[in-house]
Structure 1
Amino acid sequence: MTLHCAVLDDYQDVALTLADWSSLAGSVEVRSLRDHFTSEEALAAEVGDCEILVVMRERTPVTASLLARLPRLKLLITSGMRNASIDLEAAARHGVTVCGTASSSEPPAELTWALILGLARHVTAESTALRNGGPWQSTLGTDLHGSRLALVGLGKIGTKVARVGQAFGMDVMAWSRNLTDERAAEHGVERAASLEGLLEAGDFVSVHLQLSDRTRGLIGAPELRRMRRTAYLVNTSRAAIVDQAALLQALREGWIAGAGSDVFAREPLPADDPLRTAPNFLGLPHLGYVTRHNYEGYFRQAVEDIAAYLAGSPVRTLAQPAAGD
């Protein structure tokens, strides 16, 4: 019997060309869906015939209610080895095996610097003026050399961002609940005693924590008010770590110099979302992990996951994650 597999949210329409799916021919029929479904009912109608789904990160939440609409589903594959938008307990109840793929932490670290540099040198405003015949130079950039980079989190991505900051000649400090003096020293970073102290000291504050109950809403209005009016906030982690309403207010009222984000509470970001037109805001459509090398790895290993499942020996299975940051 031929099984049916759908790849969801393939925005660039590359899933079927970046990996060799031919090894599954005869056993699995694969199709790619480029458009994002906002309705569970519409999505279930589209993929209700599928025994296998491949999802991209957290673009489409796989909830208990969606799983209940997909009685044929047996295998769910996500890019990366962690996906907070999959209800793993519900998947287990429905007899759905959940597998992941490897992921590189280099691309999101690199994109963090695209946002930092874009903000520091007003790249969007100056480029727009150049293309539209506007004034020749209208802004003053912020020097990275000699500035302080404040990292909220010093994990896989945070340490890479720290290393680049040091190469720019920045003073780097970091904070997280679990950060020790030893780990900070290992990476040549000063450990801040508190989040408040970190925010008060930073010229560029960059968020690199996992989303959990402890980190949700970690940076709200009181924290943003502690930042310098000349400071910038960058978030390439998860939107919910920063209170989005407070961030919008901070930008509108000039609590901080600007902000950059690759993550949003709702994705794709609605056309009328006020962050799209917020002053001094540099936003990107969640591109942190969207690189050719990463995608080739995702889809190649998705094929491997399917083959292993069909052979009766699933690989890279996902378990319920422990809370933490």
Structure 2
Amino acid sequence: MLPKIVVYKAVPPDVLDYLREHARIVVVEPAPGQSQASLSGALGEALVDAEGAIGASIKVTPAMVARARRLKAISTISVGTDNFDLDDLTRRGIVLAHTPDVLTESTADTVFALVLSTARRVVDLAQWVKDGQWHGSIGPAQYGVDVHGKTIGIVGLGRIGGALAKRAALGFDMRVLYANRHPNEAAERAYGARRVELGELLAQSDFVCLQTPLTPQTRHLIGAAELRAMKRSAILINASRGAIVDEAALIAALADGTIAGAGLDVFEHEPLAADSSLLAMRNVVALPHVGSATHETRHAMARCAAENLIAALAGTLSRNIANPEVLAR
């Protein structure tokens, strides 16, 4: 009999057809007005007798997994794994697959779009024009700042950070600093990137870009003290995970001019509340977590995740495994 898998995020029809060729499919999708708690409960029930699961954007807890005694593999349609307890999955012998490569370039595009749009005030000034405020020649009140030739500091120089360094160094002649647990010698050779401690990166960078995964060690990595360490003219860019930044501290820093602005694709709580102070700030560009959101990339992510899952259930998956220690069991 074909294995049962739970699909808990909408995937393209051809990807769903691929999954149906290899497994029995149960789709868990939100009903109109359904709460996140109710959706999580439905997913937990569907997992009870499932061997696999594929999806994103819902936290899969150890309690849910404990009831799923036949579960062998989960495939997340994302690079991030913060919706899972990796240690618990590994203890239970469950493979967690993810999609670390296919979204690299489109996410780096989004990050650099935030750099450009905050520096040149693209969103603010576009709205100014739409509001009918353009009555003559512009002046200093509408000026932005240059990007070319400035210093970019990248916290986390992995795949996406490396792609960002490429755009900055080769496209905009920027000086690249990075903070990372390990040296990235390829980026140092190709882009002149220099590895420094976080404090030095914050003090020297005109743009601080966060590209590190969310872990207990990186939660609120950027707080009030780190924001004070930045230049008053600096701009913070976060397209990794919202909780890496202490959002209350960021709001305070933006309000009092501790830093000049922020470009944000992620937030501590998503969707961002309509009454968030961030939305009233003209020096903030806020996006709805669209880092990899292009038609091409999202399709490639779904296909990659589907192939990951089927290979994991067959015992043949050898890449894109977030907890490779499980293979040693």
TM-score, normalised relative to structure 2? 0.81
Matches within 5 A, 1:156-171: 156-171=159-174
Q: What is the one-letter code of the residue matched to 2:191? A: G
Matches within 5 A, 1:88-237: 88-91=86-89, 96-101=94-99, 103-104=101-102, 105-136=104-135, 137=138, 139-178=142-181, 180=183, 185-191=188-194, 193-237=196-240
Secondary structure class of the residue paired with 1:54 = strand
Query: What CA distance in whole angstroms lies between the structure 2 residues aligned with 1:61 and 1:291?
Result: 23
**Runs of 5+ consecutive residues of structure 1 not aligned to the other structure:** none
Q: 1:291: how far off? A: 2.2
Report if the CA contact (8 A) 2:254-2:260 is conserved.
yes
For residue 251 of structure 1, the aligned residue among 245, 254, 257 is 254
- The percent identity for this pair of structures is 32
* Among 270, 282, 302, the residue aligned to 1:267: 270
Give the 3-state SS of the residue equivalent to 1:150 in structure 2.
Answer: strand
1:247 Cα deviation from its structure 2 partner:
0.8
Instruction: State the match for 1:8 in structure 2.
Output: 8
1:310-321 superposed matches below 5 A: 312-313=314-315, 315=317, 316=319, 318=321, 320=323
- 1:116 CA displacement: 0.8
Other-structure match for 2:54: 54
Give 1:71 deviation, angstroms.
Answer: 5.9
Q: Structure 2: give runs of 5+ residues left out of the alignment.
A: none
TM (norm. structure 1) is: 0.82
Q: Which has the higher helix share?
A: 2
Give the secondary-structure state (helix, strand or coil) at the position aligned to 1:29: strand
Alpha-carbon spacing, 1:183–1:307, altered in 2? closer, same or farther (3 Å):
closer
Checking the alignment, whether the CA contact within 8 Å between 1:40 and 1:66 is kept in structure 2 is no
User: In the alignment, is the contact (CA less than 8 A) between 2:110 and 2:291 conserved in 1?
Assistant: yes
The residue type equivalent to 2:77 in the other structure is S
Residue identity in the other structure for 1:125:
D
In the TM superposition, what is the alpha-carbon distance from 1:321 to its structure 2 partner? Answer: 7.3
The answer (yes or no) to whether the contact 1:107–1:291 under 8 Å persists in 2 is: yes
CA–CA separation in structure 1 for the residues paired with 2:196 and 2:117: 29
| 1:45 equivalent in alignment to 2:42 | yes
Query: 1:88: how far off?
Result: 3.0
Corresponding position of 2:15: 19
**1:4 Cα deviation after fit:** 5.4
Amino acid in structure 1 at the alignment position of 2:315:
S
CA distance in 2, matches of 1:195, 1:303: 37
Counterpart Cα distance in 1 of 2:96 and 2:83: 12
Q: Residue 121 of structure 2 aligns to which amino acid in structure 1? A: H
| Alpha-carbon offset, residue 246 of structure 1 | 1.2
SS at 1:268 equivalent: coil
Q: 1:113 to 1:69 in 2, by over 3 A?
A: same
Of residues 176-185 and 210-219 in structure 1, the stretch that sits farther from structure 2 once superposed is: 176-185
Does the 8 Å contact 1:18/1:299 carry over to 2?
no
